[in-house]
Chain A
Amino acid sequence: MTPTVFSPTGIRFENIDKRYGGLYALRRVSLEIAAGECVVFAGRNGSGKTTLLRIAARLVRPSSGSVSFLNGGEERGGTVPPAGFVAHATMVYDELTAEENLLLFARLQGIAEPGARAETLLREVGLAERRSSLVRTFSRGMRQRVAIARALVNEPAVVLLDEPTTGLDPEGASWFAQTLRHLRDSGRTMLMSLHGESEVSTLATRAIRLDAGTVVADTLTGANFRSILAFANV
């Protein structure tokens, strides 16, 4: 992966509520994620994992409470660069080639040399030879490679992953875990939601369990760690 050029960024969630009509997706969630932490959110379907990640990405506005980005424990001033977001939906265009997708998002984010950045990313995700192929001709694993390249186009300090390994075969999941390991080791802050234990979940340095929109367990390591992840399968 590319050498780091971002400034280490933590995230603070303060009293986050999110309501859809009368239904609470999140209720009074307060968390502080330190820069460089790799946090896995576990929980049943509908426990609020996706909502929390989308609030962190600023795709969803909380009903009350606030999200702030931290630098050295202090709130970051000015405009915070967008987080890299990878979900089970690829968030790329099937009718564009891998290279066109990366160029599009690089240009939209004002990257100085979009061509060079796209080139680097394509090489890093192993798609340099398929750069001119339409994404719709790709396998699920290849699409997810384009997805992660798109998420990293602006070299984000924070990477959010919402069940990113859904539908990947073991080989694809293994490649994905390897890539995430590089990202974690480069000092990026990573928040991910997962269903159960996997190669990806072993990267986590902290596990948080959500249930009905509230945090019910939060642990760094130890016996609880595995039980939090296992609970997602119940």
Chain B
Amino acid sequence: MALLSSAAVLLGKELRTEFRSRELLTTTTVFVLIVIVLFSFSFDPTSEESRRFGAGLLWLAFLFAASLMLQPCFLREQSNDTLSALRLSVSDPFAIFLAKLVANTLFLLLTELLLLPVFAVMYNVQVLPMLHWLVLVFFLGSLGVSITGTALSAISAQARMRELLLPLLLLPLLTPILVASTEVTAALFDRSPYVQWKGVGFLAVFDLAFLTILWLLGEYLLEE
């Protein structure tokens, strides 16, 4: 219970600081918007092409946005050495990760949901009938991205060339998520939409596996 109560307190802090500054949400949303518009201008896709390639473009944009969003996750704990204060205060360091990954998932999901209508209009894709399933895929995909990205953010924050390191580590590791999320989303964009349960199951297992790894190894990632 101490873990969950610490995580809840820290999540409150993450949300408060972000909604006060709106740094991450604003920059990430604008970034994804630019990527979606640029893709649209480059390809000028027909409705059929959008259904085939739109899901991939959408998830690539989300992954780029995530690498942007996750970068400051631990980096901003360094300017005042607040990470040390947190480590001194929590009984289980996993609480720090749990709060950050939940916050990152929420921020990412919010960005995705804000941009979905823009994508639907620009790429002429019907999203409303399958919205609840899309939300599920976005959630599972974003959770996987956040778990992996939060862990890597903790590693890269202590390294030299930290700004370059995170995307270099993150994007290859997220290939399975990109593939699975794209396939499930493409099936939902299909002329006859359907839920690709195999992909949904894969995303859930990926999330669970990486969450367990983070729980087991998180303490070592925070060590100096």
A interface residue numbers (CB < 8 A to B): 54, 57-61, 79, 82-83, 85, 87, 89-96, 100, 104-105, 107-110, 150
Known: A90-B80, A93-B13, A104-B13. A150 touches B224 (CB 8 A): no
Closest partner residue, chain A, to B89 (CB atom): A108
CB atoms of A60 and B224 under 8 A apart: yes
B interface residue numbers (CB < 8 A to A): 2, 5-6, 9-10, 13, 16-17, 20-21, 79-82, 84-91, 223-224
CB atoms of B16 and A100 under 8 A apart: yes
Known: A61-B223, A89-B80, A90-B80. A95 touches B85 (CB 8 A): no
Tell me the smallest distance from the CB of A97 to a CB of chain B, in Å: 10
- The docked-state distance in angstroms from the alpha carbon of A96 to that of B13 is 8
Interface of A is mostly: loop
Q: Determine which of B10, B17, B21, B80 lies in contact with A91 in the assembled complex, contact meaning CB atoms within 8 Å.
A: B80
Sample of 7 further A-B pairs with CB below 8 A, known A83-B88, A94-B79, A95-B21: A57-B88, A79-B91, A91-B82, A95-B17, A108-B9, A108-B10, A109-B89
CB atoms of B85 and A105 under 8 A apart: yes
- Can you list 23 residue pairs at the A/B interface with Cβ under 8 Å? A54-B224, A58-B88, A59-B84, A59-B87, A82-B89, A83-B88, A85-B88, A87-B84, A89-B84, A90-B80, A91-B81, A91-B85, A93-B17, A94-B79, A94-B80, A95-B17, A96-B13, A104-B9, A105-B85, A105-B89, A107-B5, A108-B86, A109-B89
Residues of B within 8 Å of A83, CB to CB, are: 88
CB atoms of B81 and A89 under 8 A apart: yes
With a 10 A CB-CB cut-off, give which of B79, B84, B90 has the most chain A CB atoms.
B84
Tell me the smallest distance from the CB of B16 to a CB of chain A, in Å: 7
Interface of B is mostly: helix
Residues of B within 8 Å of A104, CB to CB, are: 9, 13
- The docked-state distance in angstroms from the alpha carbon of A108 to that of B11 is 11
CB atoms of A92 and B82 under 8 A apart: yes
Known: A60-B224, A93-B17, A96-B13. A108 touches B81 (CB 8 A): no
- The docked-state distance in angstroms from the alpha carbon of A59 to that of B224 is 7
Residues of B within 8 Å of A85, CB to CB, are: 84-85, 88
Closest partner residue, chain A, to B13 (CB atom): A104
Closest partner residue, chain B, to A108 (CB atom): B89
Closest partner residue, chain B, to A153 (CB atom): B89
Tell me the smallest distance from the CB of A150 to a CB of chain B, in Å: 7
Closest partner residue, chain B, to A57 (CB atom): B88
Residues of A within 8 Å of B5, CB to CB, are: 107
CB atoms of B85 and A92 under 8 A apart: yes
Tell me the smallest distance from the CB of A86 to a CB of chain B, in Å: 10
Tell me the smallest distance from the CB of B86 to a CB of chain A, in Å: 7
- The docked-state distance in angstroms from the alpha carbon of A19 to that of B111 is 44
